Amino acid sequence: MSAASPALYAVLPAEHADLDPRTVVDLARRAEDLGYGAVWLPDHPLPPAGYSDTYGGVFEPLVLLTAIAGATRSVRLGTSVLILPLRDPFLLAKQAATLERLAPGRLVLGVGAGWEEAEFTALGVDFADRGGRTDEALALIRHLHTVGRGPFEGPRFGFETGVFAPAPTAPVPLLVGGISAAALRRAARHSDVWQAVPGITAERFGALAAALRERAAGRPIETGARLSLPAGRDPRDAAEEIAALGAAGADHVSVWFGSPDGYADRMAALVRAVGR
């Protein structure tokens, strides 16, 4: 794949509380048929306002991805992104390993540190400690998926004894999202995939991707960007933006297509616009 032809990933709609989750499964199957390389689901367990474009994640992402895994054959399945410090990392490691065993080699566990303080307050989690909790949870999940037993030394999640199972067929790739200095440090240290926030310019993306690769010191990291193609936007404009992001070094571009009405049509229109 050339630098100017990034893979296309689809961010599935999960912003509408009255949406039938089977609709999302059907859209994932359609995305696979159209040639999208991955499908993503967002996460917000208890937002301070109704689910919307701001607060996606009506459906628990790992549960819905399990249904999608059974309905698809080869498309990658991922979270973009799961709010890691709001999760128990031991349970999350087991959930991820179980899903990976159902869909070997297809899961990408995408995480972020979170940004909505009210959500942390509602769940009783220290917002100020979210970065430290995220870093330690990432290290713990990797340890459980590779070593599979204690000890693990950490101030928040350390343990001496215990056996972890099931082991995934291979360590689940970890995606870190965000463009802050802390997010880039976290991605360079822990991630296999990095994804920028929506709306980033190609120039800014290229600079951040270059900085990340330098910080990673030769460790390969897939880099990705996000954009939107809601109803009313010309898919040719989105295709030009995708080409620019590819030229700036994006390995993939994840696209959110707005309202579920017409979602599949817009996915197909983008594929035609980029010439695939």
Instruction: Output the six-digit token pair for 28.
Output: 């994932």
C-alpha distances (whole Å) from 85 to each of 23, 44, 162, 183 are 29, 12, 22, 14
Per DSSP, helices labelled H in 117-229 are: 117-123, 130-146, 181-190, 202-216
73: left (phi over 0), alpha (psi -120 to 50) or beta: alpha
Helices and strands, number each (H, E), in the chain = 9, 9
Q: Rounded CA gap, 245 and 201, in Å?
A: 8
Cβ neighbours of residue 16 closer than 8 Å, sequence gap 6 or more: 51, 58, 260
Tell me the catalytic residues: 44, 116
